[in-house]
Structure 1
């Protein structure tokens, strides 16, 4: 009991440090993103920031996972946070010298994302060593809450820029990095015991880097569930690109701001609910059930051009995202031995994120070249689907929302029909998370 309480205390200390750091990074990211758009007027150059923030996690995932499992996870997180802070230092110096250029922001974003490619799997893989199995759902809900707090960044950043300027915002960001590193410096994370899977995966760095893929391939249920999660992310990416054009097709810019805030509040509410509830006891059924719900409310976005409808369905859709994500993470944590979780989580992250650039690439051309013309007055679908949901500007995007949501819900229903996926609920895994007690005597990491 004492060990479990100590583990929970350590988790809360690390979590608080990461939450503060996440909010600080979101402040800088928002401010610099606005600066890029104001300087260039180019949506493409603005979008390249998102690409720079995503691609390193995809490319480096196998290597990051192997190194996380080889080394002390606490030190990996400290080095990653320190490295990300260096990118902010570089930007702050360039800004103060009046020499900041757009490509500097791309490079700094890519470098920070490289650090995050190591930090994220180390953080996730540490939870099973600190938190009792029955509390993993709540712990992952709290992690999602910390990430969702980024929705408050635009509001805070706008006030801070007026008060302390862009340089002041970056200085605050650096202070939050320091807070996260100090929090990590005074905690312990136990080393995991070597499992049969971990022993079998030992070898060269190249061999270990590929083990996450091997682990998933040998467990078809986990592989199919990861594929479903990647599919879920694909539609999240699609709607994140199209939701603003959809709303602006029938509403004002002012209403857009409020509706985006309402949607973000739904995500925060879902994270808080997961943290308090802990998630469904039947995790496979619960995750798939929330994916079905997400699909249905996503489809409802297109029913009619009404801001009141969006005010209801957008928060409802975003409410499901942290519950699906946290539940999926708990499934992985309880189906994977702790000493190989870095590799498995990194591989899952790579497979999940790779669908996002694809969705960003497809969303615009499909909307502009296919669905919007088809739903214009006199278009190919004006007399059929158009008779039900209307024609004109934005109705093609509305149809994309409806199709995406129905396909997503149907996919989750089909997934539940898979015995391999349903069987994950009862499948025993030797060495997977059962408690937060140190599993190898004498393997505790000394505090700094």
Structure 2
């Protein structure tokens, strides 16, 4: 895509995502290595989603009301300050207690929560409405390349340079991303676009909720997303799963993360082609079904290589669903409501995660984690099939049948 603004935008997103790999991985591994507790690892997963669940609707409303470029710059800079302070704390104390680790995750993710609706909302303006599918796939492709590089290097950085270096890398990438955004020329229609009757924040959120409620197809997909995200607990439980399955450690964790990102890169590079042949609403369901079967495979098979393959397929299908959900929302929703819809959907889609992750952590301290993964696979497959059936029944006007 020969678009300087888009390339700068994708670069800022990729660099920020690269840093997040270091922060998230270091926090999760530090907590599990120090406690060996599935429950406390699960608490990290709960903390990841708290800020998104609470603040996403507010972040979406603000992104529809104010200069989205400034929101991106300011949020990235706040992320820089927060992670820099966490790094200093770790350097001075040489450890992160669970309360400090959870607080660090929540504060860092507050910045990400405000970045998400603003960045997704301006994408069609930077790329052009006609290039939404291609731009979404290309953005995913670029960010996954940065994630791939980060995943390859994070284990070595933590092993040889320590947690302080890993966290400070995330801080630096936040700062670099905020600087790059300065050079992006975002069309004026992305700035202060909502001047409707509701000037208060609650009114704007209510307007967004009304738009979502009136779109039957989008509403059904969002309900399915809430249900499917129950199985998000497998991320925080992954270190325990690897340890239990074949007495593995950080190397196996890095391999699984790496093959998962390769799958994401493949999907990102083919997203536009896929949507030309299959409707996005169907790809969302297909992805969830495939994800469920892949998770089930990880619990059934025993060999290292085949489990790596299962995680590769799981990431492949997850990315298919995620990319097409973004494409679907951007095509379905008017520009002036995109921030609010993205914010509300982000909040609703993670609402089931904290409780399910906490329950999985409690259960995981009492029964083999393999059985939790088996349940997750069966459950996700069933939800994917249910979504396909319910979405298929909705009559969609030809102009949005993409």
Q: TM class by shorter-chain length?
A: 0.7 to 0.9
Structure 1, unpaired ranges of 5+: 373-392, 429-448
**Kept after mapping to 2: 8 A contact 1:27/1:157:** yes
Q: Secondary structure of the residue that 1:362 maps to in structure 2?
A: helix
**Kept after mapping to 2: 8 A contact 1:262/1:311:** yes
> 2:230 matched to 1:234?
yes
Aligned to 1:20: 15
Aligned to 1:407: 382
Residues 1:189 and 1:287: Cα distance change in structure 2 (over 3 Å): same
Q: Give aligned pairs, total.
A: 397
Residues 1:401 and 1:301: Cα distance change in structure 2 (over 3 Å): farther
Aligned to 1:184: 181
Q: Distance in 2 between matches of 1:360 and 1:322?
A: 21
What does 1:355-394 align with in structure 2 at a 5 Å threshold? 355-364=352-361
Aligned to 2:394: 419
Q: Secondary structure of the residue that 1:280 maps to in structure 2?
A: helix
Aligned to 2:52: 57
Residues 1:210 and 1:275: Cα distance change in structure 2 (over 3 Å): farther
Q: Secondary structure of the residue that 2:349 maps to in structure 1?
A: helix
Structure 1 moving runs of 4+ over 6 Å: none
Aligned to 1:258: 252
What does 1:61-80 align with in structure 2 at a 5 Å threshold? 61-80=56-75
Q: Deviations over 1:399-420 (max 9, x none)?
A: 4245224413421332343225
Aligned to 1:322: 319
| 1:180 shift after superposition | 0.8
Bigger helix share: 2
Structure 2 length normalisation: TM-score? 0.85
What does 1:168-317 align with in structure 2 at a 5 Å threshold? 168-192=165-189, 202-235=198-231, 237-240=232-235, 248-253=243-248, 257-258=251-252, 261-262=255-256, 264-278=258-272, 279-281=274-276, 282-317=279-314
Q: Secondary structure of the residue that 1:210 maps to in structure 2?
A: helix
Q: Secondary structure of the residue that 2:209 maps to in structure 1?
A: helix
CA RMSD of the aligned region, Å? 3.3
| 1:61 shift after superposition | 1.4
Flag the structure with larger Rg.
Answer: 1
Structure 2, unpaired ranges of 5+: none
Q: Secondary structure of the residue that 1:317 maps to in structure 2?
A: helix
Structure 1 length normalisation: TM-score? 0.77
Residues 1:306 and 1:83: Cα distance change in structure 2 (over 3 Å): same
Q: Secondary structure of the residue that 1:333 maps to in structure 2?
A: helix
Residues 1:201 and 1:252: Cα distance change in structure 2 (over 3 Å): farther
| 1:250 shift after superposition | 4.6
